[in-house]
Structure 1
């Protein structure tokens, strides 16, 4: 018998005659202090996010592309990284083409090694979707994937995020249950509450040191 088999055998024999402990988990302990009336979720989320310099704009599913174009124009930004394979990416491409907006839409369609220099130094802003948001902490929830890799929300200096108001949950536990995360967790989840900031140097708060210096959230209220 190998050493490995011997060790595993001892572990199995040590459990003989024992019973598993009952599951005493009480979900109310992690949810009840953070329940909100449905009509209060947007206001709470917005209050917490704006307190850490996030810009929040209520809008509709019909006018958000025009709002994106306006936000870019106000900042004199000339390009935007977005995912053309997503519904919101296609919608934005259609709007830019139809209105002849002066913005160059970029796609993350190659390995990062092939365009790292451009991504880190020449991309003005990015647009991503979200899985939802958490009212208790004022956080967006992002699931990076092949269409929208993680660097889309971490590298460009301005990050614009689309959030359906119907996907704002009271707390993280309720969100995981409602969306059945147990059926298939992603390899990476991002909880984003505001733009990148640090006070490591002389205790002076600086934005954009480790990621976007601006976070803009568009809340689609009729979604």
Structure 2
């Protein structure tokens, strides 16, 4: 008696069930989630591309004097009357460049046009700026003003967020991390209300980075 179509299908199912199903390879949970940059890739260039892509404004500075010129031109272009700077090393740097800034908290709440801070690290993959409360800028200067200006060096660029956090642990120790650590990725924005994009919803309306190239000069 010949098999019916139903018998043929059932036999194939029974044969398939007798063979163990192939199992997927065990995932390597220690492997990085995202590919690491190649040895021939410039981290500073990768960061610059990511930073601009998320809405940041980047000014590349070839030297300290070039930074003075860039910052002076930016202040003039944006008509910044009050640039708040609270970190001692930044105050010294701007004094040497004869740049005018507000070095105290006088009128800060009423006239916080812009604040200039340093940062802990720059993340190449996401274009993020890692700031903390451990600097003289504290918690407020990177959040409250309408414009957040950052002075950083190319040597501070790391591949990914994990590398940035690891550098924080190495700098401060795992038990003495700053009370506030924040990743800033582009200007503050939200589209929660009626899907309308609003800038400056819970932080600065713009983030501007002055990136000083401190890579050692190539020798012939």
TM-score (normalizing by structure 1): 0.73
Report whether the alignment pairs 1:50 with 2:52.
yes
Q: Secondary structure at the match of 2:129?
A: strand
Q: 1:136 aligns with which of 113, 117, 125?
A: 125
- The answer to which structure has the higher helix fraction is 1
Q: Match for residue 102 of structure 2?
A: 106
Change in Cα spacing, 1:146 to 1:84, as seen in structure 2 (3 Å) is closer
Q: Match for residue 30 of structure 1?
A: 32
- Counting matched residue pairs gives 184
Change in Cα spacing, 1:89 to 1:37, as seen in structure 2 (3 Å) is farther
Report if the CA contact (8 A) 2:131-2:182 is conserved. yes
Structure 1: state its 5+ residue gaps.
1-25, 110-114
RMSD: 2.4
Structure 2: state its 5+ residue gaps.
1-27, 216-220
Q: Match for residue 209 of structure 2?
A: 217
Rounded to whole Å, the distance in 1 between the matches of 2:40 and 2:140 is 32
Report whether the alignment pairs 1:72 with 2:64.
no
Rounded to whole Å, the distance in 2 between the matches of 1:182 and 1:50 is 30
Rounded to whole Å, the distance in 2 between the matches of 1:37 and 1:121 is 48
Deviation at 1:32, TM superposition (A): 6.3
Report if the CA contact (8 A) 1:198-1:209 is conserved. yes
Report whether the alignment pairs 1:63 with 2:52.
no
Of stretches 30-39 and 63-72 in structure 1, the one that deviates more from structure 2 is 30-39
Q: Match for residue 180 of structure 2?
A: 188
Report if the CA contact (8 A) 1:128-1:161 is conserved. yes
Q: Match for residue 175 of structure 1?
A: 164
Rounded to whole Å, the distance in 1 between the matches of 2:161 and 2:29 is 12
Q: Match for residue 154 of structure 1?
A: 143
TM-score (normalizing by structure 2): 0.74
Q: Secondary structure at the match of 1:154?
A: coil
Rounded to whole Å, the distance in 2 between the matches of 1:221 and 1:173 is 23
After superposition, what is the alpha-carbon deviation per residue over 1:92-134, rounded to whole angstroms, capped at 9, x for unaligned? Answer: 12323xxxx5x4x22345xxxxx6xx33331211100011111
Counterparts of residues 5-16 of structure 1 (less than 5 Å): none
